[in-house]
Structure 1
Amino acid sequence: MAREDNSKVEQLKSHYSSRILNPHSFCLEMLLQRPKGIRSDEDEDDTFASILNAVGEFGTFQRRLVALTFIPNILLSFFMFADSFVFTAQKAYCNTSWILAMDSNLSEAEQLNLTIPQDSNGSFLTCLMYSPVDWDLESIIKLGLNHTEMCQNEWLYPESERRSLTDEFDLVCGKELNWELIVAVYMAGLLIGSIIFGFIGDKLGRYPAILLSLLGLFIFGFGTAFVNSLQVYLLFRFVVSQAVAGYIISSMSLVTEWLVGEHRARAVILSHCYFSIGILFLLGLAYILPHWRLLFLLGGAPVLSVIPYIWILPESPRWLMVRGKVEEAKQVLRYAASVNKKVIPLDLLNKLELSGKKESKTCVLDSYSNMYLCKVTLIIGCMWFTVTYSYLTLSIKVKDFGMSHYARQMIPSLLEMPVRLFCILLVEHIGRKWTLALTLFQASLVCLCILLLPEGGNGPRLKWPVLAVTELKLTVTLVTLTGEFSLASSITLLLIYTAELLPTVLRSTGLGLVSLALVTGAILSLMTLLIKQNYSILSVCLSFCSAALALYLCCQLPEMQDQSLVDTIEHLSSQLRSS
């Protein structure tokens, strides 16, 4: 026995000495990878993992749980991007119905010819009209009108094919809605929603947080179709963005805590593909429906199907355990096992009861007092900031290539799905860390290529005699889309990584904290957009630096493949002591 113990010690020494060459990644890996032969309080994780195996790794219960996330994900992307299709630019002509009092049989074209001034090429001027007069119609036709003034009351939209918010609330002729205001309202909602629902998810549970977010989508998402003013519309969008953030955080925590490692990544990646389906669903409805209210009515109608979630959605047994609710956790686990037609051994349930006697009480300040949590939060937050900035910048750059509004949304949505599905194979063969590093490396390379290409935006003007202008434009478009797909995959993988690195007791709160970095990166990207001079070269340079920084930070993280989740901060401390 003594020889065996000495042999184990020598193996551990050899293992750790080989890692000294990379001390940064080793520091985090030590905290998560428990050395063999050393026992600690982390054995509770092994007990829970054994129970989940007894319940069934990916049985009917888990498949149903993953399927329940599909419909809300479709709705999330629908409500997130609906603003792009309800605030369309319109040509507004003054309402000059005063002339109809002289002859009610005038056609719309005749009315415009008589009352709206024209420019040199014969097109009607918007926002201007001839001043009303008390003449008869023959005098107006014979003499014409000369004095012009701005529109006074209402406007006409003769060229409008669809009813949008622009002509609903007459957002024209100096009353145009600032697009930055819409983005600011939405970002503020994401910011506040991340904090509020992160706190709710850890204090009250994943189940009530998901129900509250779905209730917000139902009332303020579906209810957007009935607003009667622009101010109320913006208020509804503000609450909807909070519900979007809340559902993403809460559902991610719930799925992460119910599934084991190999199935967890597949489920999350597959559910993210339904974001793209939601965008395609939005595109189809926006193209077919003639009125923005119908868009929210029919597009938001699937939210009615989530009402049964009140009875069929399960709570996270891991969260119940860390809150000391052992009996409720056992009841949920028994139900899951019965759905999967499995039986949990009694000795495992008894071990679960022994490990869950005390409630773990934590607060957000523990993220800063614990060395591991502080380091992980900072690294993951920086990665969220850089990846979001690069992704949004490339998405904005695609708009500069003359593509139609529908094509700009449809092409990325169609191509992101197979790219994300391919990541499932990569995760299973090379692990989460190197799959994420591969996507970030590809994104960095793409940003560098955009800088070197002539159409990269005032960048180094290299000579490309072989390629024609059209071919160059097509090349830059394809390269930019490739970078966008890579970063979209990086966002999905990073979300999985974030949920797995954080402990159960602070998982929702931690996801809410890193969402602050996500919103900050998005805001910085939009601020860069406002810099008109040298915008392209500046934004793409920053995107390249951001993607490269994210790649470096990714290399500092430990591999989470086949690693059990950590439930409490005490487990983290015990891991540190044992290491």
Structure 2
Amino acid sequence: MSGESNCKVKHRSHHPSKNLNQREAQEHSNSCSLEMLLRRLRATEANQDDKFAHVLDAVGEFGTFQRRLVVLTFIPNILLAFFISADVFVFTAQKPYCNTSWILAVGPNLTEAEQMNLTLPREPNGSFQTCLMYLPVAWDLDSIIQFGLNHTESCQDGWIYPDTKKRSLVNEFDLVCGKEQNSESMQTMFTAGILTGSLIFGLMSDKLGRYPTILMSLLGLIVFGFGTAFVNTFHQYLFFRFGVSQALVGYTISSVSLATEWLVAEHRSHAIILEHCFFSVGVMFLTGLANSLPHWRLLFLVGGAPVFPLIFYIWILPESPRWLLMNGKLEEAKQILCYAAGVNKKTIPLSLLDKLQLPRKKVTKASVLDFYNNRYLRKVTLVMGCVWFTVSYSYFTLCFKLKDFAMNIHFRQVIPGIMEVPARLCCIFLLEQIGRKWSLVVSLFQGTLMCLLILILPPELKSIMVLMVALGEFSLAASVTVFFIYTAELLPTVLRATGLGLVSLAWAAGAISSLVIISQRLTLLPILLCCVSAILALFFCSLLPETQDQPLPDILEHYPLQTRNMAEELLAKEVAPEGGTGDVVRNTVLDSTMLKLDSDVLSHTPVPGRAGDTDPRND
């Protein structure tokens, strides 16, 4: 081979001054050969460890079983969008007026308008003041009408909402006149649930499995999602929203891991893309439902009721065979693979199935500390965390900026829902043409650019600003989808869910940062943070390897194989024999190592009588 010929020394010199160069050339030749053999060993092990992909090919790349699995992950995503965005519609703006029913004791026949006219002070423009009332007096109705009331105080007997047609949390729990709960505080509570849920359910999915974690997440949606309709106090509502956000992130992490580990090649990315499209459909479903229902409790009752049929997932949802294999459950993995092949009307050759073996090392030792100890995992987590922070911060900045345009609340939700579906479908083309890494870079760059333009452009250009928001939503939606696909393929099976949970912390951090900065009404800081985070994220993305058409890493020992450069990859393919076995390669490496040690010893041992060696006795 050319690599070996480059390392050979063709002419042997007997001159003392050239003897050292000859030894150095021989050592260099030995090191080159040893390095190539080591690469050959790594390439052979990579091919052996990818046996699971061959088994999935025998099961059927995208047969009936896989299509059914994808559909099962679609359905809950509609409900995820419903529960995530429900706060927008239950905290609608209200116009409260003090309850002055005390005057009905002296004037029971007064209409609501007459009652308000006698008991409520007015603004300079003639409208009624919302949080003040006239002090009650022990007069008769004629005296009140003749002399009027002068002394005001804050509301004593609650509030009334005469202009409100729908029942929301605001008028249910009287969150007005100093008791307001703005959307920023609600979003902070929801984000806190994402923070804790990312850690809890990520670890749980890797320790207990994808199947039980998904079931527990669906149970959380039933208890905390549907159960929100029955809360009696506002603090109970906050607690239930905290619980449902944990269940949401738990399902998202586990379902992405399950789809990633069951599907191969382009089917994996297509499934996750369609799963996210159904999330956008759920946003539009919520918007239509909220517009038609008159009570916020009905919204949770009707929208949360479809969670109950998901109980049948107990009997039909499969576990990830990769996870079973990595956790020492070889027979269970074989059984579920044979079942999947039977559904697809395929047969797995016994010779191929028997090649599935338990990992050589105990994978139970893998823990969250490996994200600090393992250099590759640490790099992936930090880079993806930076990307996730940037996407989250930019997305929430766009959402809060859109509120400044005084658009209808339903219209503000419909625009992103409509734009996100084609954005995610466009990811199919991007992923196939330029791969995972550059698809993420392109979508992130475009989304960040739109966010910067929105923050810089004057607010008078309303139509242009709305267009920029739509394009920003389009790009960031694509970034979210590519991010999940790329991150799931970068992480090993034994820590895939835990890694997704850790990078989800960065999403929560970005959301909280956006909430805090926007609430401070600062002008330059949002732009500065957006620029800095985007530049770092785009730079770090270039350091990650491409995962398209690469085998999924399962254990930590496989993970460095995904980070080889192209030259090493080609060299490994060139050196690796077509029919060579792992034992042959290992023996070759050991023999080469021993020969290198022997040659090193001989090269430093003088041989009497050899030409070119100086005899001490001649000195």
Normalising by structure 1, we get a TM-score of 0.88
Q: Indicate yes or no: 2:532 matched with 1:545.
A: yes
Amino acid at match of 1:347: S
Task: Give the corresponding residue for 1:375.
Answer: 379
Which residue of 263, 267, 271 maps to 1:263?
267
Distance 1:300 1:284, change over 3 A: same
Return the alpha-carbon distance in structure 2 between the equivalents of residues 74 and 563 of structure 1. Answer: 31
Amino acid at match of 1:313: L
Q: What CA RMSD, in Å, does the superposition of the two structures yield over aligned residues?
A: 2.3
Following TM superposition, by how much is the alpha carbon of 1:521 offset from its aligned partner in structure 2, in angstroms?
1.3
Task: Give the corresponding residue for 2:161.
Answer: 157
Task: Give the corresponding residue for 1:176.
Answer: 180
- Tell me, yes or no, if the aligned pair for 1:8 and 1:37 is still in contact at 8 Å: no
Return the alpha-carbon distance in structure 1 between the equivalents of residues 6 and 247 of structure 2. Answer: 51
Q: Indicate yes or no: 2:591 matched with 1:569.
A: no
Once the two structures are superposed, the pairs formed by residues 432-447 of structure 1 within 5 Å of their partners are 432-447=436-451
Amino acid at match of 2:476: L
Following TM superposition, by how much is the alpha carbon of 1:41 offset from its aligned partner in structure 2, in angstroms?
3.6
Following TM superposition, by how much is the alpha carbon of 1:382 offset from its aligned partner in structure 2, in angstroms?
1.4
Which residue of 540, 544, 569 maps to 1:557?
544
Which deviations, in whole Å up to 9, do the C-alpha atoms of 1:544-578 show, x marking residues without a partner? Answer: 33233322222221111111101111223677899
Task: Give the corresponding residue for 1:76.
Answer: 80
- Tell me, yes or no, if the aligned pair for 2:391 and 2:476 is still in contact at 8 Å: yes
- Tell me, yes or no, if the aligned pair for 1:443 and 1:547 is still in contact at 8 Å: no
Following TM superposition, by how much is the alpha carbon of 1:39 offset from its aligned partner in structure 2, in angstroms?
3.7
Distance 1:552 1:400, change over 3 A: same
Q: Indicate yes or no: 2:513 matched with 1:524.
A: yes
Amino acid at match of 2:57: N
Following TM superposition, by how much is the alpha carbon of 1:45 offset from its aligned partner in structure 2, in angstroms?
3.5
Task: Give the corresponding residue for 2:587.
Answer: none
Task: Give the corresponding residue for 2:126.
Answer: 122
Aligned length, in residue pairs: 537
SS of residue matched to 2:108: coil
Return the alpha-carbon distance in structure 2 between the equivalents of residues 9 and 208 of structure 1. Answer: 56
Amino acid at match of 1:220: F
Following TM superposition, by how much is the alpha carbon of 1:396 offset from its aligned partner in structure 2, in angstroms?
1.9
Following TM superposition, by how much is the alpha carbon of 1:52 offset from its aligned partner in structure 2, in angstroms?
0.5
Amino acid at match of 2:413: Q
Which residue of 294, 298, 314 maps to 1:294?
298
Q: Indicate yes or no: 2:434 matched with 1:430.
A: yes
Q: Which moved more, 1:432-441 or 1:45-54?
A: 432-441
Amino acid at match of 1:539: P
Distance 1:356 1:309, change over 3 A: farther
Which deviations, in whole Å up to 9, do the C-alpha atoms of 1:61-90 show, x marking residues without a partner? Answer: 111111111121111111111111111221
Task: Give the corresponding residue for 2:479.
Answer: 490
SS of residue matched to 2:157: coil
Amino acid at match of 1:382: C
Amino acid at match of 1:381: G
**Tell me, which stretches of 5 or more residues in structure 2 are unaligned?**
9-37, 573-619
Which residue of 412, 416, 423 maps to 2:420?
416
SS of residue matched to 1:567: coil
Distance 1:439 1:35, change over 3 A: farther
Q: Indicate yes or no: 2:349 matched with 1:362.
A: no
Following TM superposition, by how much is the alpha carbon of 1:222 offset from its aligned partner in structure 2, in angstroms?
0.3
Which deviations, in whole Å up to 9, do the C-alpha atoms of 1:277-313 show, x marking residues without a partner? Answer: 1111111111111100001000111111211111111
Amino acid at match of 2:195: L
Q: Which moved more, 1:547-556 or 1:350-359?
A: 350-359
Once the two structures are superposed, the pairs formed by residues 89-108 of structure 1 within 5 Å of their partners are 89-108=93-112
Which residue of 448, 470, 487 maps to 1:481?
470
Distance 1:368 1:40, change over 3 A: farther
Task: Give the corresponding residue for 2:399.
Answer: 395
Distance 1:5 1:46, change over 3 A: farther
Q: Indicate yes or no: 2:290 matched with 1:303.
A: no
Task: Give the corresponding residue for 2:578.
Answer: none
Once the two structures are superposed, the pairs formed by residues 93-242 of structure 1 within 5 Å of their partners are 93-242=97-246
Q: Percent identity?
A: 62
- Tell me, yes or no, if the aligned pair for 1:92 and 1:156 is still in contact at 8 Å: yes
Normalising by structure 2, we get a TM-score of 0.82
Return the alpha-carbon distance in structure 1 between the equivalents of residues 4 and 97 of structure 2. Answer: 89
- Tell me, yes or no, if the aligned pair for 1:71 and 1:302 is still in contact at 8 Å: no
Larger Rg: 2
Amino acid at match of 1:71: I
Q: Which moved more, 1:138-147 or 1:287-296?
A: 138-147
Task: Give the corresponding residue for 2:356.
Answer: 352
- Tell me, yes or no, if the aligned pair for 1:444 and 1:548 is still in contact at 8 Å: no
- Tell me, yes or no, if the aligned pair for 1:503 and 1:565 is still in contact at 8 Å: yes
Distance 1:101 1:342, change over 3 A: same
Amino acid at match of 1:482: L
- Tell me, yes or no, if the aligned pair for 1:398 and 1:481 is still in contact at 8 Å: no
- Tell me, yes or no, if the aligned pair for 1:325 and 1:356 is still in contact at 8 Å: no
Q: Indicate yes or no: 2:317 matched with 1:317.
A: no
Task: Give the corresponding residue for 2:334.
Answer: 330
Return the alpha-carbon distance in structure 2 between the equivalents of residues 49 and 527 of structure 1. Answer: 46
- Tell me, yes or no, if the aligned pair for 1:129 and 1:148 is still in contact at 8 Å: yes
Return the alpha-carbon distance in structure 1 between the equivalents of residues 370 and 358 of structure 2. Answer: 25
SS of residue matched to 1:298: helix
**Tell me, which stretches of 5 or more residues in structure 1 are unaligned?**
11-33, 456-468
